[in-house]
């Protein structure tokens, strides 16, 4: 057996995985910057802000467009060109920035900043854990996904019953769910890298869909923590 060739192959595979993971997190950070920039722009434009949030129809169209984009991108990623997939990803992050701009009016800037820092630290730690651990996190991912379904159902019910207990319970559970999903998705992205052809369109689209998953984990974890830690104006 040529051990030198085997070691070289192993090192090349490890380098390929690291490049892919770096690319995924790079796309995710770019999307977060897009969301932050758009949110700041909207909240700085009083006329635009009123037009969006004083018109239920406009806000509903934006929310439906968001859902359509994230579902369409996830379901049709293999059929889309790299350019279209990338454009959809950044359009989704921009629309999220528009709909999230209202948090600047509800919470103090100090609590938004501190919650963002806590979210980034938690997200980074769980991503690091998911990337390095040898333990299979599939069961954690499945449990977190079931918890997510429960949160969605409970949140819809709470629109009508307006229960403080349900609101609080879904918030605490939501933090645990997105912490778990962050570690699970980080591990899955690392595993995905081993099956993708480097520098191919398949790898590029894999990076986009991986970035989308991490982006959703980060945004939702931030919103859940903001419910708990945010100070209202």
The tens-digit pLDDT sequence of the chain (233 residues) is: 444 443 444 555 678 888 999 999 999 999 999 999 999 999 998 888 888 888 878 888 998 999 999 999 999 998 999 999 999 999 999 999 999 998 988 899 999 999 999 999 999 999 999 999 999 999 999 999 999 999 999 999 998 998 999 999 999 999 999 999 999 999 999 998 888 777 777 888 999 999 999 999 999 999 999 999 988 87
- CB atoms < 10 A from the CB of 163, how many? 13
**Which pTM value belongs to this model?**
0.91
Q: Please, what's the b/e burial string for 210-232 (b: 16 or more CB within 10 A of its CB; e: otherwise)?
A: bbbbbbbbbbbbbbbbbbeebee
Query: CB–CB of 21/211 below 8 Å?
Result: no
As given in the structure block, the two tokens for residue 123 are: 């997200």
* Nearest C-alpha neighbor of 141 from the set 180, 95, 199: 180
Query: CB–CB of 100/93 below 8 Å?
Result: no
Q: What is the DSSP letter of 79?
A: T
DSSP string covering 125-165, please? HHHHHHHH--S--HHHHHHHHHHHHHHHHHHHHHHHH--HH
* Residue 62 backbone dihedrals phi, psi, to 5 degrees: -65, -45
């Amino acid at each position: 057996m040529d051990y030198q060739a085997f070691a070289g192959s192993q090192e090349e595979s490890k380098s390929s995985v690291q490049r892919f993971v770096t690319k995924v997190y790079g796309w995710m950070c770019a999307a977060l910057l897009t969301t932050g920039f758009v949110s700041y722009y909207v909240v700085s434009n009083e006329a635009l802000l009123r037009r969006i949030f004083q018109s239920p129809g406009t806000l509903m169209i934006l929310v439906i467009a968001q859902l359509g984009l994230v579902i369409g991108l996830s379901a049709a990623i293999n059929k889309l060109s790299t350019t279209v997939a990338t454009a959809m990803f950044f359009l989704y992050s921009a629309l999220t920035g528009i709909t999230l701009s209202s948090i600047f009016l509800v919470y103090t800037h100090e609590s938004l900043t501190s919650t963002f820092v806590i979210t980034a630290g938690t997200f980074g730690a769980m991503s690091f854990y998911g990337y390095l651990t040898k333990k299979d996190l599939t069961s954690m991912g499945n449990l977190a996904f079931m918890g997510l379904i429960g949160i969605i159902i409970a949140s819809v019910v709470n629109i009508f019953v307006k229960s403080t207990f349900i609101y609080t319970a879904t918030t605490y559970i939501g933090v645990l769910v997105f912490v778990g999903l962050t570690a699970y998705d980080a591990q899955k992205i690392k595993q995905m890298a081993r099956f993708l052809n480097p520098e191919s369109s398949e790898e590029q689209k894999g990076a986009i869909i991986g970035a989308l998953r991490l982006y959703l984990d980060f945004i939702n974890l931030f919103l859940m923590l903001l419910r708990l830690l945010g100070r209202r104006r």
